[in-house]
Amino acid sequence: MTKAANASVDERVEERSPASRRLPGVVCVLALGTFLMGTTELVVAGLLPEIAGELQVSVARAGLAITVFAE
């Protein structure tokens, strides 16, 4: 390759650099959001017997309330 061709390739690589640097940050934010959305549902399911006991309803009724909340 000639110097002109190398310069052209270098310019294209530099043009893409800022976007490629932001991508890992975006991926981390999306992964964190997905983790938090899943965790909120699982934590409530784990606490279902305690929630039912506190509200003095059956576990099935408390589960139904959580399902309505999740929708």
Q: Would you tell me how many other CB atoms lie within 10 Å of the CB of residue 23?
A: 10
Q: What pLDDT sits at residue 41? A: 76
Q: What pLDDT sits at residue 14? A: 56
* pTM recorded for the entire structure: 0.48
Number of compact structural domains in the chain = 1
* pLDDT, average across residues 2-15: 56
| pLDDT tens digits, one per residue of 14-66 | 555 555 566 788 899 999 999 988 888 788 888 999 999 999 999 999 999 88
Range of the domain at 29: 3-70
Angle, vertex CA 66, rays to CA 62 and CA 70, nearest 5:
170
Using alpha carbons, list the distances in angstroms from residue 60 to 8, 17, 47: 66, 53, 13
CB 62 within 8 A of CB 55: yes
Q: What pLDDT sits at residue 59? A: 94
What contacts 63, CB < 8 A, 6 or more positions away? 48, 52
